[in-house]
Structure formats: C-alpha cells, structure tokens
Amino acid sequence: MSEYVKFEFDGQLYEFPIITGTEGEKAIDIAALRKKTGLITLDPGFVNTGSCESQITFMDGEKGVLRYRGISIEELAEHSTFVETSYLLMNGELPTLEELTNIRVQLNDQSLVHEDMQIFFQNFPRGASPMGILSAMVNALRSFYPELTHTEEAINKTLLRLLSKIRTMAAMSYKISRGHKVVYPRADLTYCANFLNMMFDNPVNPYEIDKDVVKALNVFWILHADHEQNCSTAAVRVVGSGRVNVYAAISAGIAALWGPLHGGANIAVFEMLSEIAKNGGDVKYAVEKAKDRDDPFRLMGFGHRVYKTYDPRAKIMKEMVDTVLPKLNIEDPLLDIAKKLEEVALKDEYFIDHNLYPNVDFYSGIFLRALGIPVNMFTVMFAIGRLPGWIAQWRESMDDPHWKLNRPRQIYIGPKQRKYIPMDKR
C-alpha cells in the first residue's frame, strides 16, 4: 500500500509519496516539490536530506549497526580480507575462489606505478602533506593511464588499477619524503603485506612480514571501506555527477576526507591525546573544555552525524589495539589516556545527553603508530581503506537511471536590486 505525506501551503493541499527502504527507513520523495508548490527545502549540512537510494551500505545510527551489502562489519572484520571486502562492495556479492584469485592477479599486475611519476613525488616540498600529494597524484594518474570506459571489463580494469596503485603511490610518497630508495611491489605478497613491505623494507633492516600485523591491517582497511553518504563519498558523487573521469572524482573524495571533522580526525585525535599527555594526562580538563560552547575545542574522535551510540568500528579498533600492541611489545601511553578519556566522557552528562561516543578515528591513530605509520600518513591510511567504497558509490551513481547533475538550490538573503554607483559618487 503506497504511503503519502500531505501538507497545506498557500491554501492548497499537496501530497508527496513516502519511500521505504529495505530496513524500513522512510523518506519523503520531494523530486516534484518545486514543480508542484514552488517551494524548495533548506537543510544546512544535509542533516535530514537523502541524496540517493543505495544498495551498498546500511547503517543504523541508533543501534550502532554497519553492514556492507547486507553483511555485518563484525563478520567481515573476523572472516574477510580487504581485497575480498573490496570485491563485495564493488560487485555486490562475495567472490568465488576463482573471482578472488582473478582480482588478486589483476591487483598484482597493476601494482607498479609509471617511473615518471616518481619525478612528481621528488618535486613536492619535503614537508608537503601526504593527503595533498595523494589527491594530486590520483588526479595525475589519468595522464598516465587514461580511464578505459568502452566495456565493462575495461571499466573494471581502470578501477582495479586505481585500487592497486593507490597503495604503491602512498608507500612511494613516504619513501621519497624520507629520501629513501623506493621499494617495489612484489608478486608473492598479498595486498596488505605488499603495502607494509613497500613502506618499511630497506637494505639495512629487511622488513619481516608478520601475519598478525597483516591481518590487523586487513581489518583496519575493512573497517574504513565504506560508510554510506559521508562527506567524502558525497564529494565523489557530486563531482562524479558532472560525468568527469573517475580519477578526478576520487581525488575530490581524498580532498574532502582530509579535513579534521572527517578523516583528518585520526590525526587530530593523536594531537589531542599528545597534548593531554604533555599537560600531565588531565583528561577531565579536556572533557570540560569540549563542553564549553564558547570554546571551539571539540573532543576529536568523539561524536558522529549518524551514530548516536558507540561506533561499531571503534569497538573493533579498540579490541584490535588491545591485541596488536602487546603482540608487538609496544606500550603506548596515549592508549591509557584514550581509555581514561573515554571512561570520563561516557559518564559525563553532556556527552550522554548529546549521544557522543568514540567514532572510528578515536583509537585508529594508536593502532597505526604501533605499525610504524607516521602521523602525517594516518589520513592517507583512511583514504586507502575508503577507496573501494568511493569506487562502489561512484559506479552506483553512474549506473543510476535517476542520477542527475548534482546542483543544490538556495534561499537568497542578500541585497535587493540596486543601481551601480560610479566611483566618484561612492
């Protein structure tokens, strides 16, 4: 039975259909709103606005549920690998063994980066942000590997090329930034092991692949792989809606992720915890400061637009930190501070009333530092993990029959019409 919403405006009654999702979420379909009523909606930050219908990721913010193509993040973190989860997100189903083997071979075949690209990396200032470099270099990839769009297979080749090379470029950027020799990908290593080896192998201390660390990195990237219509995914869809090439759309997503309110929060959390540590570990002061409306300070790694309970990814990340650090014989004082901060905040009335809980970024920096990832690459690690989600969302938008050029409207509140005033009269 179709559902409708009715409202009266300017003496006339209007009705608009209600759309119901697979999990019972409901939306008012206002596609004909302006045509029928002359009205538009106004919703700063799109807090109440859906941009699309999607089959990729489901989140229930009240219950702390996250599923990729219907499979829970908990099950994927326990049983899957990042490559398998990427296949699931991009294709809609878990791969057969043959399909998984095929994608692995393609990712290996595509793992090298054109030697001329090293010149780009070598010419960025040493202190350049790895996120700025990554966004620029993903855009530059198109100059070396123009996207192939003539067949399904060609499109998949372009997308897998991007998925494979982003990891090589990130490691290459790191090595060059340190003045070290670039380490090339190896065909005998899996996606995550290859990245770690490209990052840390060197002639003096050859990198030893630790299967527990590789498994943990798989989980880290699985946790970051998609998150429905977050800021950076929305950027990928908006930029992609102009029918630009996929590299440019993904580059826009990287730029959007960079900000400290979004993916850049993993660096901001680390800086916040370090500051608390420097000030003697007084977590109560940080909590009080975060509650002060006149103070722009926010508890980084806390709060979320959708989750109004503990971010399920943060739970898994916290468990992972508790197993990986002891395994690596690492004691990170910031972990104790993070746990104390979480304990105090979760008991605080303001945080309870505002439904503020740890999100994916709260513990991730502690995990990454334990792996030896430099702080300025924390958000790059988020970007690599999110790439399969951006690709899946971009592809879904390109194939969506209802998809249009994204062009929001506005309510103008500037001056009414007025005359031009010549300079001598001003």
For the annotated catalytic residues, the residue numbers are: 304, 361
Q: Which helix (H) or strand (E) holds 7?
A: strand 4-9
8 A C-beta contact, residue 230 and residue 367: no
Residue (of 229, 232, 247, 148) closest to 396 by Cα position: 229
Give the binding range for ligand SDX (CB under 6 A) out of 60-68, 225-233, 319-327, 413-421.
225-233
Residue (of 172, 178, 209, 216) closest to 193 by Cα position: 209
227 binds ligand SDX per the rule CB under 6 A: yes
Distance CA 363, CA 378 (A): 12
How many helices and strands in the chain, by DSSP H and E? 18, 6
Residue (301 or 388) nearer to ligand SDX, CB = 301
Residues 40-59 within binding reach of ligand SDX (CB under 6 A): 45
230 binds ligand SDX per the rule CB under 6 A: yes
Residue (of 295, 291, 309) closest to 358 by Cα position: 309
Residue (176 or 290) nearer to ligand SDX, CB = 290
359 binds ligand SDX per the rule CB under 6 A: yes
Cβ-closest residue to ligand SDX? 303
Q: Which residues of 227-253 are buried (b: 16+ CB within 10 A; e: fewer)?
A: bbbbbbbbbbbbbbbeeebbbbbbbbb
298 binds ligand SDX per the rule CB under 6 A: yes
Residue 142: CB minimum distance to ligand SDX, A: 25
Residue (206 or 296) nearer to ligand SDX, CB = 296
365 binds ligand SDX per the rule CB under 6 A: no
Give the binding range for ligand SDX (CB under 6 A) out of 8-16, 130-138, 351-359, 408-416.
351-359
220 binds ligand SDX per the rule CB under 6 A: no
Provide the strand spans (E) within 21-82.
Answer: 26-28, 57-60, 65-68, 71-72
Which tokens go with 225? 């792989």
Residue of 361, 363, 364, 368 interacting with ligand SDX (CB under 6 A): 361
Partners of residue 7 on adjacent β-strands: 14
Residue (198 or 252) nearer to ligand SDX, CB = 252
Give the binding range for ligand SDX (CB under 6 A) out of 49-57, 107-115, 205-213, 223-231.
223-231
- What is the maximal distance between C-alpha atoms in the chain? 80
DSSP 182: P
86 binds ligand SDX per the rule CB under 6 A: no
**What is the 3-class SS of 68-84, one letter each residue?**
ECCEEHHHHHHHCCHHH
Residue of 276, 360, 371, 391 interacting with ligand SDX (CB under 6 A): 360
Residue (of 187, 350, 345, 188) closest to 269 by Cα position: 345
Residue (83 or 234) nearer to ligand SDX, CB = 234
Binding mask 232-271 for ligand SDX (x = CB under 6 A): -----------------------------xxx-x------
Q: Which helix (H) or strand (E) holds 255?
A: helix 246-257
112 binds ligand SDX per the rule CB under 6 A: no
67 binds ligand SDX per the rule CB under 6 A: no
Residue of 68, 87, 221, 302 interacting with ligand SDX (CB under 6 A): 302
Question: Token match 């739970």: residue?
Answer: 315
Instruction: Report in angstroms the alpha-carbon separations of 122 from 67, 176, 406.
Output: 40, 6, 37
303 binds ligand SDX per the rule CB under 6 A: yes
Residues in contact with ligand SDX, counted by CB under 6 A, come to a total of 23
300 binds ligand SDX per the rule CB under 6 A: yes
Residue (185 or 388) nearer to ligand SDX, CB = 388
Distance CA 318, CA 334 (A): 13
Q: Which helix (H) or strand (E) holds 168?
A: helix 152-177
Residue of 36, 142, 284, 305 interacting with ligand SDX (CB under 6 A): 305
Residues 126-155 within binding reach of ligand SDX (CB under 6 A): none
Give the binding range for ligand SDX (CB under 6 A) out of 78-86, 202-210, 235-243, 294-302.
294-302
64 binds ligand SDX per the rule CB under 6 A: no
Interface contacts to ligand SDX, rule CB under 6 A: 45, 227, 230-231, 261-263, 265, 290, 298-306, 354, 356, 359-361
